[in-house]
Amino acid sequence: MSSYQSDSGDTNEQPGSSDPGESSEIITENTLLSKSREKYQAIYKKFNSWRETNNKGPLSQDVMLDFFMGLSQKMKPSSLWSHYSMLKHTINSNDKIDISSYKKLNSFLRLQSTGYKSKQTKVLTPTDIERFLNEAPDNQFLATKVALIFGIIGACRRQELCNVTMDDIEDDGIMALVTIPKNENDPERSFTICGEFYNMYRRYSNLRPKNIESKRFFVNYQNGKCTHQVIGINKFGSMPKTIASYLNLPDPESYTGHSFRRTSATLLADSGADLATLKRHGGWKSKVARVFIEHSKEKKKKICQQITESVVLKPQASASTSNQASEVQMPLESSDEIADADDPLFVDCTFKVKEENTSLETSAEVTEPESEVSEPDSMVMQSNPQS
């Protein structure tokens, strides 16, 4: 399983996210989504096949522990929890056994998750979005620009972008109201496109062929023209990577088909939106919406400001400022000296004068000891007549 977040869900099941102390109700086959039913049953058959091949007895905690110990040798903790979740539902449904009560198994899974952090798809920043929409040429990237607009304003998955039809869009000439129909996972939701985003949408919409058979809104766009071929889900999934590559962002492979939806949630959370607004906007559950709010950088910045408001620090001069101050204090040459130095005929005689003065001072210093030495002789000569 990929460690990135998939389009079918909002987040991978994080390590330790399952609550083993909570008894789960018996889940019937009808409660499983048709999209996931085959995958759930495949994991259940895989487990039973392993049990028969290795001559394991009736289903028990020790049998489950052996199975997951084998999986841990080749799977990441996030994949182990995914297998655990699917087996918990299918074993409940088929064998009427609640494996969430297996404490040893849950302790083992939590131990495997210690220190592990699942890799999530990267998001685009407001600066990234502005740069791409303003700088990327329309004759090459107009369809990608409109998909980006739909994705970040409507928190759309790649499948939802692929399924948008002309009937889902109400255009009154000023703005466009887009409706995302209800599906097995999410309720119906809608969003509007207006302002400069609407103008960009209109440029693409006006190029769409009138006689096209498909009602799907997004059609292939090449060299400034729309064709009759619709855009597939895989191309929508690669659009964030295309944007990251155009902007020369680091690690463009980390921008997956889920980037538009995560970018939308991140931008909304950074703007200060509350939990209820996030849940309505993207149809997220409370747990997922709360994660976006908790990880919001703007939210953390506000918390930091609230904590540090009561602490007043004196501004400290940086090293560059102190260096500039010392340079200012150095004596400057007079304007006459600067003018003379710039004159090509100027000859500096101060050095010779200084040399002469220095030689005179040196000779004076040398002669002074001689006078001091001769002074006692004169004093002796003056004392002799008296004698």
pTM for the whole structure: 0.60
What are the residue boundaries of the structural domains of the chain, listed by start?
Answer: 34-113, 126-282
Q: How many CB atoms lie within 10 A of CB 200?
A: 18
CB 161 within 8 A of CB 145: no
Query: CA neighbours within 13 Å on the CB side: how many for 69?
Result: 10
> Has residue 152 got a pLDDT over 60?
yes
C-alpha radius of gyration, the chain, whole number: 40
pLDDT at 376: 45
Poorest-confidence range of 31-45, 86-100, 138-152, 181-195? 31-45
| CA pair distance 195, 153, nearest whole angstrom | 12
Quick one: DSSP state of residue 155? T
* CB distance 281 to 264 below 8 Å: yes
Nearest residue to 288 via CA among 163, 186, 150: 186
Q: What is the pLDDT at residue 299?
A: 64
Q: Which tops the pLDDT comparison, 271 or 155?
A: 155
Task: Pick the closest to residue 22 from 87, 83, 100 (CA basis).
Answer: 100
DSSP annotation of 165 reads B
Q: Tokens 């759309």 — which residue?
A: 156
Which residues lie below 8 Å from residue 95, measured CB to CB, with a gap of 6+? 59
259: exposed, middle or buried (Cβ count in 10 Å: 0-12, 13-18, 19+): buried
CATH superfamily of 126-282: Intergrase catalytic core (1.10.443.10)
Give me 363's structure tokens: 């000779």
- Residue 11: pLDDT above 50? no
Residue 134 in tokens: 């303003």
The whole-number average pLDDT for the span 126-133 is: 95
